[in-house]
Amino acid sequence: MLTKKVLNVFAVATFMLSGSVFAGPLDDGINECGVPVCDISATVEALTSLNEDRRYNYVNKMLRTYGDSSELEILKNLLATSKETKAISVAQEDADWVIRESNSLTNAMIMGLAKHSEIDATELSLYFTQITSAQKRYEIIEFWSKKVDSIESIEDLSALVTFSQSAKAHSIMLGDEAWIPRAAGSLVSKITIKLTALDPAHEGIYSVDSMITGVTQGILPFDKIAVLDSSAEESLVVIFYNSQYRRASFTFSDVALAGNILSGKSISSSQTSKEFSFELDRETGAISGILSTTDSTISFSGTQSFSTRSVFAGQTPIVLTENDAIGTFKGTVGSMNVSLTVKSFLPGVYSATLRNESGSVKKDYKGKFYPKNGVLSLTNNSTMKLIVSLREIDGEMVWSGYSYSVKRPTAVEATFTK
């Protein structure tokens, strides 16, 4: 009987010493509560009673174990903990190297959150503003630049445009070297190009009414707006056009698309600086917005009279590959008989030359082909677009679509067979 009691006591002691006991305030609580620090206040109290060496060791252990984590709960848990450990070290007048370790843990958690959080423009921008190293800010921009390639959600891509614009502004404000905000600007362009491909509702021609307030001298009113995807050279190009005088009133390149809002700026010392923004109702094609110069404001509203979105509608009659857009096509652009020869000298990039029958007209294009939609989108000098898709029309496979110019905002039908 005595032997059994001794064995029972030994078993209880063994259980109490096993991993089944609750983790202490300085133990890693990942197996107990799912995060490294189960009770931050208890851990703070325990760390306060230690010397600076042991405080350093604790923070260092967390940094080594979870510095590269992508788990949001862990990152948020240790971000909160790191701020507390720094506060303790400052209050206890720890050596700089101890405080720096808490800063390192904070920075590692912010970097993780800036990379792995849900795509929310406000949240990502908040984490970006907390990054203290210019090199790390660039790392976040590059991370999302690579990530964009695998993102297909219009909502997520639009949020990343807003974040990238915020990151660029913050980087400029901090005085980062020019290549860092330039990388953020390139990210805006990259995302805008992808958004254009996913849903080109904004691309086309708009008829608008405009009203000028402020200084009117030298300001040419406009009644047309043309939006063109320049096939990566200058992202989106937007021209504000006066039909009466057949002149462009304002021109913007590298225009950003975020959700339903297009916006752009043109800052110069040789001509009037300006910016614009307008919002598109994708259902009705209605737009409204404002264009501002240094001393004038132009409000405008109107509706879309032509959209390239219609070319993307429908299905291809056959499954296409990237090579199906290569070759020579015969057809018409408006009333002109033409031939179109397409080649690809670089992966994913399509070059084309269009000629009329007499050879008096020649246009060179560069652009993209979307095999899934059967859409070939070509741009000439960021001012003219030729966009066609392969569809079955009256039992025949035809490449049909439009050609339009932003210099003189008009669209004509284009039809080709191969």
Query: Are residue 343 and residue 299 in the same domain, yes or no?
Result: no
**33 and 94, same domain (yes or no):** yes
- Parallel, antiparallel, or unpaired for β 336-346 and 349-356? antiparallel
301 and 211 inside one domain: yes
Question: What total number of domains does the chain contain?
Answer: 4
Tokens of 108: 């590692």
The answer on 59 and 44 residing in a single domain is yes
Q: CATH number of the domain at 323, please.
A: 2.40.128.120
DSSP state of 368: E
Q: How many CB atoms lie within 10 A of CB 389?
A: 22
Cβ neighbours of residue 134 closer than 8 Å, sequence gap 6 or more: 171, 174, 176, 177, 180
**Cα torsion 245, 250, 253, 255: sign:** negative
22-42 confidence digits (pLDDT tens): 468 999 999 999 999 999 999
Question: Is residue 11, in this structure, part of any structural domain at all?
Answer: no
Same domain, 253 and 225: yes
Per-residue pLDDT of the chain (418 residues; tens, 9 = 90+): 434 333 333 333 333 333 434 468 999 999 999 999 999 999 999 999 999 999 999 999 999 999 999 999 999 999 999 999 999 999 999 999 999 999 999 999 999 999 999 999 999 999 999 998 999 999 999 999 999 988 878 889 889 999 999 999 999 999 999 999 999 999 988 888 787 777 788 889 999 999 999 888 878 899 999 998 876 555 789 999 999 999 999 999 889 887 788 999 999 888 889 999 999 988 789 999 999 999 999 999 999 999 888 888 888 999 999 999 999 999 999 999 999 999 999 988 999 999 999 999 999 999 989 888 899 999 998 789 999 999 999 889 999 999 988 888 889 999 999 9
Alpha carbon 379 to its chain's center: 22
Q: Answer yes or no: is 257 within a domain.
A: yes
The residue among 290, 307, 324 that closes a domain is 307
Query: By residue range, what is the domain housing residue 271?
Result: 204-307
**pLDDT value of position 233:** 56
Instruction: Let me know the angle formed at the C-alpha of 42 by 50 and 37, rounded to the nearest 5 degrees.
Output: 100
Q: Would residue 131 count as lying in a domain?
A: yes
Residue 229 confidence (pLDDT): 80
Residues 217 and 152 in one domain: no
Q: Give the residues across from 286 on adjacent strands.
A: 303
Predicted local distance difference test score (pLDDT) of residue 256: 87
Burial level of 415, CB count in 10 A (0-12/13-18/19+)? Answer: middle
Is 269 exposed, middle or buried (CB count within 10 Å of its CB: 0-12, 13-18, 19+)?
exposed
In a domain, 5, yes or no: no
334 and 406 inside one domain: yes
Confidence (pLDDT) at 190: 86
Which residues neighbour 89 within 8 Å (Cβ) at sequence distance 6 or greater? 52, 55, 98, 99, 102
Query: In this structure, are 208 and 293 located in the same domain?
Result: yes
Inside any domain, residue 17? no
Pairwise CA distance, residues 251 & 272, whole Å? 11
| Residue 10 in domain | no
Does residue 355 lie in a domain region?
A: yes
pTM score, whole prediction: 0.62
Do 74 and 110 lie in one domain? The reply is yes
For residue 375, how many other CB atoms are within 10 A of its CB? Answer: 24
Single residue among 179, 198, 217 that ends a domain in this structure? 198
Beta carbons of 36 and 21 less than 8 angstroms apart: no
Let me know whether 330 and 243 are in one domain.
Answer: no
Written as six digits, the tokens of 379 are 């741009």
Residue burial 92-129, b: 16+ Cβ < 10 Å; e: rest: eebeeebbebbbebbbbbbbbbbbeeebebeebbbbbe
CATH number at residue 261: 2.40.128.20
240-249 own/partner pairs: CB under 8 Å, 24+ apart: 240/276, 240/291, 241/406, 241/408, 241/409, 243/409, 245/220, 246/408, 247/220, 248/407, 249/219, 249/220, 249/221, 249/222
SS3 letters across 291-350 = EEECCEEEEEEEEEEEECHHHHCCCCCCCCCHHHHCEEEEEEECCEEEEEEEEEEECCEE
Is 13 a member of any domain?
A: no
Given 307, 334, 360, the domain boundary residue is 307
pLDDT, position 4: 37
The H or E element that residue 380 is part of is strand 375-380
Is the same domain home to 315 and 408? yes
Cα 254 to Cα 259: distance, rounded to the nearest angstrom = 16
What is the rounded CA–CA span in Å between residue 371 and residue 170? Answer: 39
> Quick one: angle between helices 40-48 and 52-66, nearest 10?
140
Looking at the fold, whether 32 and 109 belong to one and the same domain comes out as yes
Q: Residues for the chain: how many in total?
A: 418
Task: Output the CA angle 223-227-232, nearest 5 degrees.
Answer: 155
